Amino acid sequence: MNLRLALAEYAIGHLPGESAPDVAMALLEAGHDSPAVSVLASMRAPTWRDARELFEDSVAAARLRIPTVVEAQKIVLEETVAGLADGSIEPRRGAGTIWSLWHDLEDRFDVSGFIGLADEWDDHPGDRNAIEAQIVAYARELRGKFPEAAV
């Protein structure tokens, strides 16, 4: 699990509660053990009502920081583009993730290409393979090109 991405998704409300134990397991694998991490790792499909305090205590015990919303949006964008480019994120899912952030990102980053391609994917099922290839190519073109000043 990508802890950077998980913390960013948490900050913007995109991380489902049932993923909290996976984050705890990733913290354990990274050598961050604490009572909160151990309890969180043992939970089965929790909601945020059940897991939020343990999650935040686990992150604090690991001396990690939950990013601000603006930082988190950029992290999700960067990590999604990188995952699209390297094939670890399915093209339509990644384009959809970026589309879900579009209104928050549009003033800082031009991601309109992903929006158009995701829309094309929905509208033209017979062309999906070609559209997915375009999504990946666009991600490869954009990878690493998001300026720090835009955070």
Q: How high does pLDDT run on average in the chain?
A: 92
Q: What is the mean pLDDT of residues 120-142?
A: 95
Cα angle for residues 148, 96, 147 (degrees, 5° grid): 10
Q: What is the mean pLDDT of residues 36-46?
A: 97
pLDDT at 4 over 80: yes
pLDDT at 150 over 60: no
Going by the DSSP 8-state scheme, the letter that residue 111 receives in this structure is -
Q: What is the mean pLDDT of residues 37-64?
A: 97
pLDDT at 86 over 90: yes
Going by the DSSP 8-state scheme, the letter that residue 66 receives in this structure is P
pLDDT band at 104 (very low <50, low <70, confident <90, very high): confident
CB distance 141 to 84 below 8 Å = no
The more confident residue out of 134 and 111 is 134
CB distance 14 to 41 below 8 Å = no
pLDDT band at 148 (very low <50, low <70, confident <90, very high): low
pLDDT band at 83 (very low <50, low <70, confident <90, very high): very high
| Global confidence as pTM | 0.86
pLDDT at 147: 65
Over residues 11-20, the pLDDT tens digits come to 999 999 999 9
Q: Please report, in angstroms and rounded to a whole number, the separation of the first and last CA atoms in the chain.
A: 24
pLDDT at 141 over 70: yes
